[in-house]
């Protein structure tokens, strides 16, 4: 894009934003008009009364033009349940940052939310508002030819009313999005992906990330719609929790809700949606199984299942260590044999840790493990520490010697 075209695009977007704000301003002005015969207008958001603080010195200033609200006029906080579009993960008037590795099913999840919300059907054990929701999918990832087949797979039939797509051939304009949300009374907007819709020069630049997230927050705050921005998780970055999303930390810091989408450590077909951050509720998780190409089902009782699997791995490992005798088993061998039996690396490590904590397994050397019956003093083989029974004998001898010396004195 050359310089003139870029300036024209920016001018168009600025004009759209200005028009959207002017429409909002007219609505406020109508609310504040004292000639409308409505007594409630006198107690409107910016109305002045004898109990309010004094008006600005310039009496000619129109209060409706000033973006200020008196503390006495603040609205009571809405009930969290009334804000929920889909459980604690998506809230009205808020920005949710959904981060996951490529190919895990983030776009499919967005389609499922849109379809189930329009059909007023529960998804993942969580319900949508009784009247259903309208969703705008800003899907910049899926080719046009694949959109209809994908949404028909999710809907198990014809696409429902209440799901709209952004024209991917058009640039994503903040002002036009605001107009679309207001015109079609949109409840949920999904930006897929954030880096394509609102590109920045450097993904690690906190200033650029703050500006990027600022656009999303304006969308949510000015329209009251819920905004979900899909982002990626770095495959090699050593980050955890709320900071798993790739790039600058300003993104999760600015989001109202941060949800990570990861593969379950124990079960290959299960993904975990974890609420890493929320301004509304405490952290929690949801486990879904991807059935086929475009559908998900809820997985319940997964914690009990994983605990049982760790116990089974522990019994198998204890028997293997006993059979190995004094030779013991290397960690690499333990993990590979566990994988052959259907246990993940994480499960085998937890099972091994449990055996160590209960004293059933010992680690005489780095990376080598033996059953405790074959290494009664393995921990002290290299003189690293005095065995407990020798410590007791040494203390008794020292006390006896001290007593004899005291008697002689």
CA dist 149 → 65, 141, 156, 162, 180 (Å): 49, 15, 10, 17, 25
Higher pLDDT, 231 or 104: 231
User: How does residue 56 score in pLDDT terms, banded at 50, 70 and 90?
Assistant: low
Is 349 or 177 the better-scoring residue by pLDDT?
177
Taking the C-alpha atoms of residue 208 and residue 254, their distance in angstroms, rounded to an integer, is 12
- What six digits make up the tokens of 240? 């955890």
Q: CA 260, CA 96: separation in Å to the nearest integer? A: 10
Give the Cα separation of 186 and 177 in Å (integer).
10
Number of neighbours of residue 25 by Cβ within 10 angstroms = 13
- 282 and 88 in contact (C-beta within 8 Å)? no
Q: Are 267 and 302 in contact (CB under 8 A)?
A: yes
Measured on CA atoms in the order 118, 119, 125, 127, is the torsion positive or negative?
positive
Give me the half-sphere count of Cα atoms (radius 13 Å) on the Cβ side of residue 118.
20
Cα–Cα distance for residue pair 258/242, rounded to 1 Å? 6
Distance CA 349, CA 343 (A): 10
The H-assigned helical ranges of 73-183 are 80-83, 106-118, 144-155, 174-183
Per DSSP, 383 falls in state S
- H or E, element range at 259: strand 257-263
**What is the rounded CA–CA span in Å between residue 15 and residue 6?**
14
pLDDT at 60 over 50: no
Does the domain made of 304-380 have the CATH classification 1.10.10?
yes
pLDDT at 253: 96
Cα distance between residue 129 and residue 187, in whole Å: 10
Residue 25: pLDDT band with limits 50, 70, 90: low
Token pair belonging to 25: 């301003």
**DSSP character string of 302-328:** HHHHHHHHHHHHHHHHHHHHHHHGGG-
The position carrying tokens 């090699």 is: 236
CATH class for domain 83-299? Answer: alpha beta
Matching fold, domains 83-299 and 304-380: no
Residue 321, class by beta-carbon neighbours within 10 Å (0-12 exposed, 13-18 middle, 19+ buried)? buried
Q: What is the pLDDT of residues 280-292, one digit of tens each?
A: 999 899 999 887 7
pLDDT (0 to 100) of residue 138: 97
Does 387 have pLDDT greater than 90?
Answer: no
Task: Give residue limits of the domains in the chain.
Answer: 3-73, 83-299, 304-380
Nearest-angstrom CA–CA distance, 302 and 288 = 10
- What are the DSSP E strand ranges found in 329-400? 329-330, 361-365, 368-371
């Amino acid at each position: 894009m050359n310089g003139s075209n870029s300036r024209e695009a920016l001018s168009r977007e600025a004009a759209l934003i200005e028009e959207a704000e002017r429409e909002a301003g007219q609505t406020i002005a109508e609310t504040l008009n004292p000639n409308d015969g409505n007594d409630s207008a006198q107690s409107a958001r910016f109305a002045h009364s004898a109990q309010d603080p004094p008006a600005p010195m310039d009496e000619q200033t129109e209060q409706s033009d000033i973006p200020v609200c008196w503390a006495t006029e603040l609205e009571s906080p809405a009930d969290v349940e009334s804000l929920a579009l889909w459980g604690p993960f998506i809230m009205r008037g808020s920005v949710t940052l959904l981060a996951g590795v490529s190919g895990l099913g983030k776009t499919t999840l967005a389609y499922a939310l849109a379809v189930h919300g329009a059909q007023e059907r529960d998804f993942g054990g969580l319900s949508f508002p009784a009247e259903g929701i309208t969703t705008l999918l800003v899907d910049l990832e899926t080719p046009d030819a694949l959109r209809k087949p994908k949404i028909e797979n999710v809907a198990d039939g014809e696409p429902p009313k209440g799901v709209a797509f952004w024209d991917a051939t058009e640039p994503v304009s903040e002002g036009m999005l605001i107009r679309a949300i207001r015109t079609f009374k949109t409840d949920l907007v999904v930006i897929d992906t954030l880096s394509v819709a609102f590109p920045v020069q450097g993904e690690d630049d906190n200033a650029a990330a703050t500006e990027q997230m600022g656009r999303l927050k304006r969308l949510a705050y000015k329209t009251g719609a819920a905004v979900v921005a899909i982002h990626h998780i770095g495959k090699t970055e050593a980050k955890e929790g709320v900071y798993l999303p790739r790039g600058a930390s300003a993104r999760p810091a600015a989001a109202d809700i941060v949800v990570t989408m990861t593969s379950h450590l124990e079960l290959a077909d299960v993904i975990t949606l974890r609420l890493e951050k929320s301004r509304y509720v405490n952290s929690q998780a949801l486990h879904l199984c991807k059935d086929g190409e475009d559908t998900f089902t809820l997985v319940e009782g997964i914690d009990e299942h994983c605990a049982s699997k760790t116990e089974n791995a522990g019994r198998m490992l204890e028997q293997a260590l006993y059979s190995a005798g004094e030779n013991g088993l290397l960690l690499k061998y333990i993990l590979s044999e566990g994988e052959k039996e259907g246990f993940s690396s994480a499960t085998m490590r937890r099972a091994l840790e449990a055996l160590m904590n209960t004293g059933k397994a010992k680690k005489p050397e780095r990376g080598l493990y033996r059953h405790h019956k074959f290494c009664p003093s393995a921990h002290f083989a290299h003189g690293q520490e005095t065995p407990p029974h020798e410590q007791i004998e040494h203390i008794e001898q020292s006390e006896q010697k001290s007593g004899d010396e005291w008697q002689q004195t």
